[in-house]
Structure 1
């Protein structure tokens, strides 16, 4: 390994649950009980679409814009105050840093959220650079963010490890020539078998990597 590229949500941070229940939290803050399957209904909607659904179906007096802003504020507060590292992450990052392995971030999340969470958790300075999809201009269905990260690290992509929990992202990194590590997250449970088949290696959490000097 000559370098490591880490996804954030579901890989380094146990942060996927906030995206699943942010609307439930929002309605609870108003004293409104959400339907049990609300997260599933909103799963494929944008924030704006979700706000429109909530306003229409719960009869709220707030505008769609106010609902969207309030839900995003809940997400922001979670990253700034709550989001934890997943098991084994700190120890594994410590090992890579001790071995002088360059590490960078490649994330679909916004820079302020990511920086705030990693700074609070004391690991922000482990990473030489943060690459975000919005700043690069393409999502993880295209290889640009990984290519930019790989070029920053330098050397052959095949010797740079990409850690991902999402199948579409891992497939993109693999097709771009990187060595891929699938990291299990409950939010992607339905894709876990496919992730295991596609990745060069797979781990249920990063504690499996700490003792393995080859990874």
Structure 2
């Protein structure tokens, strides 16, 4: 999987860390403050959205007495504490990152999350310093499934896209990696189990955990 690769870029939520559950919980608590309930299908509607795009959607679809900036500030406050205290790395992630750093492999993050939350999460798990660049969707013209965030990250790492390996958990992210002309590895996550067939179709490799990379037990799909 890593043969001839010169950099590795990870998505964050659901890929590097087990965090997908918190957004539903934050939605419940946030909307509950205003007597609102989370509608069915909200997570699907927001899949691949950047932090800004998500706030815009909430402002347009819910009767909230807040500006978009206030919505984002509130989410950041609620999420920061959870990312710091409750979010852990996927199995084998720390060991893989340690191995990659021993090989002097440039590492990046390409996330639809905010830079602040990404840094809080990586720092609390003791791996912030391992990453050479954190790229968020807000830095580029279009979020996933467009390739912008991955191309920008590769540029910042000074590596050609075709020499990059991407780890992703959802189809939109895998599509973004493929459109960037990068090799892609799908990561198992319970929140994207229903999309497994599409994940396997889009990815070059599949892993149940990062130990599969370390042990050479990953699935080669193409």
Quick one: distance in 2 between partners of 1:48 and 1:175? Answer: 26
- Quick one: which of 197, 211, 216 aligns to 1:212? 216
- Quick one: which of 84, 101, 106 aligns to 2:105? 101
Instruction: State the secondary structure of the residue aligned to 2:66.
Output: helix
Matched with 2:51 is none
Instruction: State the secondary structure of the residue aligned to 2:40.
Output: helix
Matched with 2:92 is 88
Q: Is the 8 A contact 1:42 1:50 kept in 2?
A: no
CA deviation vs aligned residue, 1:33-59 (integer Å, no higher than 9, x gap): x97xx463533364566589887xxxx
TM-score, normalised with respect to structure 2 = 0.78
- Quick one: which of 161, 177, 181 aligns to 1:157? 161
Q: Is the 8 A contact 2:148 2:180 kept in 1?
A: no
Q: Is the 8 A contact 2:80 2:120 kept in 1?
A: no
- Quick one: which of 191, 204, 207 aligns to 1:203? 207
RMSD across aligned C-alpha pairs, in angstroms?
2.8
CA deviation vs aligned residue, 1:161-194 (integer Å, no higher than 9, x gap): 0111121121121122101111111111121111
Runs of 4+ in 1 over 6 A off after TM superposition: 51-55
Matched with 2:42 is 42
Quick one: distance in 2 between partners of 1:91 and 1:25? Answer: 35
Residue correspondences, number? 203
Matched with 1:65 is 66
Structure 1 residue 172 corresponds to structure 2 residue 176: yes
Matched with 2:133 is 129
- Please report how far the alpha carbon of residue 123 of structure 1 lies from its aligned counterpart in structure 2 after TM superposition: 0.1
Quick one: distance in 2 between partners of 1:48 and 1:194? Answer: 28
Question: Compared with structure 1, are the counterparts of its residues 23 and 143 closer, same or farther at alpha carbon in structure 2 (3 Å cutoff)?
Answer: closer
TM-score, normalised with respect to structure 1 = 0.81
- Please report how far the alpha carbon of residue 213 of structure 1 lies from its aligned counterpart in structure 2 after TM superposition: 9.8
